A and B are shown apart, each in its own frame.
Chain A
Amino acid sequence: MTGRLGKALAWLGRRTRRNPPAVLAAVYILVMSAMAAAPWAFTSHDPYALSARERLQPPSAAHLFGTDEVGRDIYARVVHGTRLTLSLSLFVVALALVLGSIVGSIAGMAPRWLDELVMRTTDIFLAFPQFVMAMAIVAAFSRSMLNAMLALACIWWAQYARIVRAQVLAVRQEAFVEAATALGRGRAAVLVREIYPNCFGPVVVRATLDVSYAVLILSGLSFIGLGAEPPTPEWGALLTRSREYLIEHWWYPTFPGLAIFLTSLAFSFLGDALRDALDPRGRKYV
């Protein structure tokens, strides 16, 4: 199976290479990942260091993105905020994907009544706008970035359950699955070795696009006070703080917001490129 996966990845790489925005997006994501892993390599400033003399300074060589109301370096705070946003966004999608795949496979293989039950439950989770739903759930738990992430995973598992179930139902009919069953492979083995590899395409596209939304939703929740607590450097929370100062100090909201925007954009470019690569028919239209 690893051989097949490797081949699929190499093939994907070949197809996406002809798409310059996607390459740019991939490079940006790599740089952001490096920032998340080793923020100190990108800035010598301490994101928590206060400096009364340097309050609300405009961008300069010393402070690339300027400073905030207590003299902290905004560039350092944006760089150090990368880890939280990026890791939680990836994690929420991974969690939703795993949960959804489990539920989806069960529904796809299960007797009809169980399938119905599962699918009608996903209906409830998919029936309402994610932001409002996530807002209500985090509000019920205590406010923290982790809870915001969990709330989102609570909602998003449903769409993966649907995708995986649909794929399972479709692939189950194929001759190679029948062949594997005829050869005496158990249900679980058929699921893992024959069916999952065939779910790869749509799930990976959905997941990449969802990271883009996760970045927006998590920082949005944080912006309205349902995420990171001060003084944690977090992009949405930085924007909240900037609101009192933005009339006179344009740089304060500009750079943290740009970070959110570019990160979300990068994942949506990548997701689009993956979809084009995996489904050449869709390329013509969207």
Chain B
Amino acid sequence: MAFLLRRLAYLVYVLIGMSLLMFVVSRMLPGDPALIYAGEQNVTTEMIERARRELGLDRPLLVQYVIYMQHLARGDFGRSLVTREHIFEDLKRYYPATVELALAAIVIACLVGIPVGVVSAVFAGRWLDHVSRAVALFLNAMPVFWLGLMAIVIFYARLDWLPAGGRVSDLHREPPRLTGLYTVDFLAAGDLAGLGSALSHLVLPSIVLSALSMGVLARITRASLLEVLEQQYVTAARAKGLAEWIVIGKHGLRNAGVTIVTVLGIQFGNLVGGAVLTESIFSWPGVGRYAVRAIETTDFPAIMGFAITFAVLYSLVNLAVDVTYYALNPRVRA
């Protein structure tokens, strides 16, 4: 319990620090938000002054920050400088698409990365190990945006196997909104054709996005499994005459799992970073593309909204990882 409280306090501290940092940086920007807000053409000085007052930019920086945080506490991220929509509403609309993409990517990364790491560890030092280590290293250095473009060139332009953008083909309507995850919503509505379309749209972006984490997971699984397999309890299990796959599965992987879970949490952050790039390549209507568009129009409240919600989400995932780690590994409790 004390552990959880300490961890929560730390989370709040980091979030406040991060938002303060972002806020100060945003106010140093040369582009004048009041000017953007007032509309860049044909504005008079009075209009800019009024916009400045409306946005509260005439107050001291610290006061502005406190006001911003007070609004934030009520779930009010302010309005977009460009569309004047509530940013909170925008984020609510775009987040599910990103979550769907990131979940699909992490599932793929686990399904491929962990077995590859296990095989690599079991055949350590042999050619299968060398090949999978090389592939993992290659994936680690792969620019996700290039991989995406090449996937479109090959699987869309050349082979015409898979669609290159969007979440669902134009022939299908959006599913009735339940979770915002199209695959789940189509399934709930019993629309199998829609589900097929949503899945086929998900294939390329999620595989591309999973590439980086896949390599990391394979490397970590290999490393931690090799370390565990050297322990005396593994030797003891072998000496008992247990089949090798039981030794690896039950004694090896379960103990290596602690490390793998931790890395998975960190990967979630990279995944959303990668999602910004993946989404803009595959016209995936998620928060990443929203953030890129906000950047293009210097819509700082929107960028802030993205960064802060993302930071909260990221911290919560890491908190969950820490709690899992704590539960799995009695040694850290001491």
Contacts and interface: CB of A to CB of B under 8 A. Distances in A.
Asked if A and B are interacting partners, one says yes
A265 interface: yes
Interface string A107-135: 00000000000001101100111111101
Contacts of A261: 141-143, 146
Nearest to A127: B14
Contact of A124 (B18, B30, B304): B18
Interface in B274-326: 274, 276-277, 280-281, 291-292, 294-296, 298, 300, 303-304, 306-307, 310-311, 314-315
A132 B288 CA distance: 9
B274 A131 contact: yes
A253 B146 contact: yes
B227 interface: yes
Interface string A39-68: 000000000000000000000000000000
A140 B314 contact: no
Given A127-B18, A128-B269, A216-B141, A224 B31 contact: no
B323 to A, nearest CB: 17
Interface string B128-160: 000000000110111111100110110011100
Interface in A142-174: 142
A69 to B, nearest CB: 15
Contacts of B222: 285-286
Main secondary structure of the interface of A (DSSP, over half): helix
B21 A124 contact: yes
Given A135-B291, A141-B30, A285 B227 contact: yes
B137 A220 contact: no
Interface residues of A, number: 49
B150 A132 contact: no
Interface residues of B, number: 58
A128 B26 contact: no
B259 to A, nearest CB: 11
B22 to A, nearest CB: 6
Determine chain B's interface SS by DSSP, over half rule.
Answer: helix
A101 interface: no
A130 B273 contact: yes
A98 interface: no
A142 B156 contact: no
Given A120-B13, A224-B292, A225-B292, A135 B276 contact: yes
Interface in B230-277: 269-270, 272-274, 276-277
A16 interface: no
A226 B295 contact: yes
Interface stretch (A4-12, A73-81, A188-196, A241-249): A241-249
A265 B149 contact: no
B303 A136 contact: yes
A195 to B, nearest CB: 29
Contacts of B28: 140-141
A200 interface: no
A56 to B, nearest CB: 14
B25 interface: yes
A121 B18 CA distance: 10
B269 A129 contact: yes
Contact of A223 (B152, B277, B300, B307): B277
B219 A286 contact: yes
B276 A268 contact: no
11 contacts: A123-B17, A128-B311, A129-B269, A129-B270, A129-B272, A136-B22, A224-B276, A247-B157, A253-B146, A253-B150, A285-B223
5 residue pairs, one from A and one from B, having the closest CB atoms: A257-B146, A131-B273, A129-B269, A124-B17, A265-B141
Interface of A: 120-121, 123-124, 127-133, 135-137, 139-142, 212, 216, 219-220, 223-226, 236, 239, 242-243, 246-248, 250, 253-254, 256-258, 260-261, 264-265, 268-269, 272, 284-286
Interface of B: 10, 13-14, 17-18, 21-22, 25-26, 28-31, 137-138, 140-146, 149-150, 152-153, 156-158, 219, 222-223, 226-227, 269-270, 272-274, 276-277, 280-281, 291-292, 294-296, 298, 300, 303-304, 306-307, 310-311, 314-315
Given A212-B141, A265-B141, 4 more contacts: A219-B145, A220-B145, A264-B142, A284-B226
